[in-house]
Amino acid sequence: MIRPTTPADTNALMALAADSGLFEPSQTEELAAMLAEHFAGDGADYWLTDEDQVPVGMAYVAPERMTERTWNLYLIAVHPDRQRQGRGKKLLEYVEQLLIDRGERVLLVETAGTEDFEYVREFYRKSGYTEEARIRDFYTAGVDKVIYLKFLQKQRL
């Protein structure tokens, strides 16, 4: 069941982020701060939770500032025990449909260009995303940032 995240999910989602292996400890602290800002803010962004009696997946998407209907999927994670069950795909499809229903135009996704993140990049390619840009040594020396793009609405010619 995919649903909006609530404040009561915070601890479970931070544990999920740590368990996923996708985030460094300092990054999970930043995620906690972002989630707290979400609950205190205007609700312009979306935090979603995939729940199977406990939170097992999460996604965070927000509008890209100073753009026209462009959004950025800042994170999507599924607990390692629940991966390879289609949960990540369902979360991504849910996010896309949410944005399509709102009339949004573009969804961007950023990930690392390292070998151990190849499965992540393959996930986005299989989901219809195209590699739009690569910034060398972005995260640290030897770790590129790879940006994927998917148009949510048909583009005018």
Instruction: Render pLDDT for 63-93 as a digit per residue (tens, 0 to 9).
Output: 999 999 999 999 999 998 888 889 999 999 9
Contact 12, 35 (CB under 8 A): no
Query: H or E element: which one contains 14?
Result: helix 10-20
49 - beta bridge partners?
Answer: 3, 58
Q: Give the pLDDT score at 154.
A: 67
Using left for φ > 0, alpha for ψ between -120 and 50, and beta otherwise, residue 137 falls in left
Is 114 inside any structural domain? Answer: yes
Average pLDDT for the chain: 90
Q: What's the mean pLDDT in 118-139? A: 96
Judged against a pLDDT cut of 80, whether residue 156 lies above it is answered with: no
The residue with greater pLDDT, 77 or 153, is 77
Tokens standing for residue 40: 């205190």
- Model pTM score: 0.88
- Residue 144 maps to which CATH number? 3.40.630.30
Is 31 inside any structural domain? Answer: yes
Is 157 inside any structural domain? Answer: no
Q: Give the pLDDT score at 157.
A: 42
Domain that holds residue 145: 2-151
Tokens standing for residue 128: 């219809």
Number of domains the chain contains:
1
Angle between helices 25-40 and 10-20 (to 10 degrees): 150
Q: How confident is the model at residue 125 (pLDDT cuts 50, 70, 90)?
A: very high
Is 156 inside any structural domain? Answer: no
